[in-house]
Amino acid sequence: MGEASELEVKAQKRAARRLKILEEVVSSEAKYVQALQTLEKVYMIPMRMVADQPKGAIFQHADLDAVFINMDVIVKVNSEFLEELEAEAGKFPDVNYGQIIARAAKKFKGCYTRYVNNYDAAELHLNKLKKHDKEKFRYLDVQKSHPDAGGLDVRSFLIQPVQRVPRYRMLLEDLLAHTDEGHPDEAPLNEALEKVREVAMHINEEKRHLEEVDKLRKLGERFATSSNMEKELVRYDRRFLKEGELAKVRLTHRQRRQVFLFNDLLIYAVGSKNGLVVKGKISLQLGARVERLPNTEHLQNAFAVIDKVGKGYTWVGDTEEHAKEWFDAVQASIELNRPKRESRAGGNLLGDVSTKTPSQRLDALKEGMTLMKYNQRDGKSGARFVRLSADCSKICWGDLKGKDTKSDMKLGDAVALLHGAKSSAFFKQQGAKKDQDWLCFSVVFKGRTLDFAATNAEALFDWYLSLAQLLPRSTEPLLDEASLRSRMESML
């Protein structure tokens, strides 16, 4: 057989397959609509008549709503869809179903979404009847012996709308695969397939949303009734992500808390005989952030969650892995809510900061300047005159008035240098700290940290870059001038 003959045979097979698919589009829809009408005739109408009885009714309308929600609409929509297909089928084999299916898909979106999302609840209601209301379930079981039911129980009919949209997609994909390029129905069929895919995606998204709402509702039920948390937690755009125990640090106290993480919120609570009691909430939107805190003699495996106004909450994990797991989860939640930056706000503030030699910066620090110093014990802050010793071996501080040294620490004992508000000292006050994060830095020692905030960008550059020169073995990564500038711009 020649090459031309082989191509002709393939074309004939392709055309024959297309005709079979066209026939299947109509025949499968006719069979489906018949099943819907049987469900209506055998189950829905008789049950509705029973529920309408004023006294002694086996079924109530609530039962019908729970099991057959939106089915009346589906029967109507698909019956009309079948009529259009059958009218077009009269032109067989020169039929064009694309536009008909595309129009129908727009109607499917609403009614099928509602039905499919209720399907699991309908199943639960039927199971409840089977276990706890034998009379109702016996009525349903007897109905499958109806001549039109063909021995199929109500579940066999209820599942079919759930399976139908995926079936449309498969038929259209197969039909397009056997439709020649340039065929009059090619573009309409592509549009129809896109619409059906949108319906399927919408159904799946709505189903996931409703599942999340159900999780929130069940979680809310665990809280004390007086807190009204069930109503407060349930929001269409909220997602429950993680639950566990952490220690909350407040000054020198640590309190175990049950922590609940959502995509927009962190809630912490304690148990009581009446349910969980909320102790606090932290919004993770609008500028919230999370920072790992350096390990010190008194604080290990810690991180701080900072809300939009700068108020910090210090949390401690049971282990390094436990703390990192929670830190990563909170950070991921915050990132979801962070808007994309269209432009950098820090250019004007940092543009006037001059580049200096290392010796010039060190000279400025030896002369000393005013910094805000945060108290490690309670997080209170105050202005201090801070300088380096003449040999740069110590960091010294005292009162502003006399500029005398009251205290000092040997830089040789320091183990790390941090840029930003990363120490727990910044977050121990009940209110938010006044200093901006990009002006903060900490020198970490084994038993404590020295925590400062510069009063301007140039002072921050002088202190951080000079200390980075003096602490080359910092356990935390050190930034050069370009990296520090970039980091500060991102924080503004």
What's the pLDDT at 404?
A: 84
Specify the long-range contacts of residues 120-129, CB closer than 8 Å, at least 24 apart. Answer: 121/66, 122/66, 122/67, 122/68, 122/69, 122/158, 123/155, 125/63, 125/66, 125/67, 126/67, 126/154, 126/155, 129/63
What residue numbers bound the domain in which 155 lies? 3-218
Query: How far apart, in whole angstroms, are the C-alpha atoms of residue 168 and residue 176?
Result: 12
Q: Is residue 386 domain-shared with residue 452, that is, in the same domain? A: yes
Q: Is residue 189 domain-shared with residue 286, that is, in the same domain? A: no
How many domains is the chain partitioned into structurally? Answer: 3
231 found inside a domain: no
The amino acid at residue 428 is K
Q: Is 188 helix (H, G, I), strand (E, B) or coil?
A: helix
What's the pLDDT at 253?
A: 85
Q: Is residue 133 domain-shared with residue 14, that is, in the same domain? A: yes
Angle at 377 between CA 372 and CA 378, to 5 degrees: 70
Q: Is residue 24 domain-shared with residue 141, that is, in the same domain? A: yes
309-to-314, 341, 344, 427, 490 alpha-carbon distances in Å: 15, 19, 20, 12, 17
The owner of tokens 């002709």 is 8
Query: How far apart, in whole angstroms, are the C-alpha atoms of residue 251 and residue 49?
Result: 69
What's the pLDDT at 4?
A: 63
CB 187 within 8 A of CB 201: no
225 found inside a domain: no
Of the three residues 218, 253, 276, the one that is the final residue of a domain is 218
Output the CA torsion sign for 137, 142, 148, 151. positive
232 found inside a domain: no
223 found inside a domain: no
Query: How far apart, in whole angstroms, are the C-alpha atoms of residue 303 and residue 323?
Result: 7
Q: Is residue 373 domain-shared with residue 474, that is, in the same domain? A: yes
304 found inside a domain: yes
Taking the CB of residue 477, how many other CB atoms lie within 10 A of it?
10
The amino acid at residue 108 is F
What's the pLDDT at 351?
A: 67
226 found inside a domain: no
What's the pLDDT at 250?
A: 82
Q: Is residue 173 domain-shared with residue 277, that is, in the same domain? A: no
Query: How far apart, in whole angstroms, are the C-alpha atoms of residue 487 and residue 479?
Result: 9
CATH number for the domain harbouring residue 248: 2.30.29.30
Rg (CA), the chain: 35
Of the three residues 163, 187, 218, the one that is the final residue of a domain is 218
Which residue blocks in 186-303 are alpha helix, DSSP H?
186-220, 229-233
Query: How far apart, in whole angstroms, are the C-alpha atoms of residue 156 and residue 149?
Result: 10
Of the three residues 305, 337, 369, the one that is the final residue of a domain is 337
460-to-235, 285, 361 alpha-carbon distances in Å: 43, 28, 11
Cα-Cα-Cα-Cα torsion 144, 146, 150, 154, nearest 10 degrees, comes to: -30
Among 436, 483, 468, smallest CA distance to 455 is for 436
Q: Is residue 352 domain-shared with residue 332, that is, in the same domain? A: no
Q: Is residue 304 domain-shared with residue 366, that is, in the same domain? A: no
What's the pLDDT at 208?
A: 84
Overall pTM > 0.75: no
The amino acid at residue 477 is P
Q: Is residue 203 domain-shared with residue 273, that is, in the same domain? A: no
Among 81, 96, 84, smallest CA distance to 22 is for 96
Q: Is residue 213 domain-shared with residue 255, that is, in the same domain? A: no
What's the pLDDT at 345?
A: 46
What's the pLDDT at 251?
A: 74
130 found inside a domain: yes
What's the pLDDT at 2?
A: 60
CATH number for the domain harbouring residue 74: 1.20.900.10
Q: Is residue 183 domain-shared with residue 53, that is, in the same domain? A: yes
CB 66 within 8 A of CB 125: yes
Task: Return the structure tokens found at 425.
Answer: 């000292």
The owner of tokens 């995509």 is 263
Query: How far apart, in whole angstroms, are the C-alpha atoms of residue 488 and residue 437?
Result: 9
Query: How far apart, in whole angstroms, are the C-alpha atoms of residue 379 and residue 427?
Result: 6
Q: Is residue 166 domain-shared with residue 290, that is, in the same domain? A: no
pLDDT tens, per residue, the chain with 492 residues: 566 677 788 878 888 999 999 999 999 999 999 999 999 999 999 888 888 877 656 778 888 888 999 999 999 999 999 999 999 999 888 889 999 999 999 999 989 999 998 888 888 888 888 888 878 888 888 888 898 888 899 999 999 999 999 999 999 999 999 998 889 999 999 999 999 999 999 998 888 888 888 889 899 999 988 778 888 898 878 899 999 999 999 877 899 999 999 999 999 999 998 899 999 999 998 788 898 888 888 889 999 998 887 788 999 999 999 999 999 999 999 888 766 544 444 455 676 677 789 999 999 999 999 999 999 888 888 999 999 999 999 999 998 887 888 899 999 999 999 999 888 888 887 667 778 889 999 999 988 899 999 988 999 999 999 999 999 889 888 999 989 988 888 777
What's the pLDDT at 434?
A: 79
Cα-Cα-Cα-Cα torsion 52, 54, 58, 62, nearest 10 degrees, comes to: 60
364 found inside a domain: yes
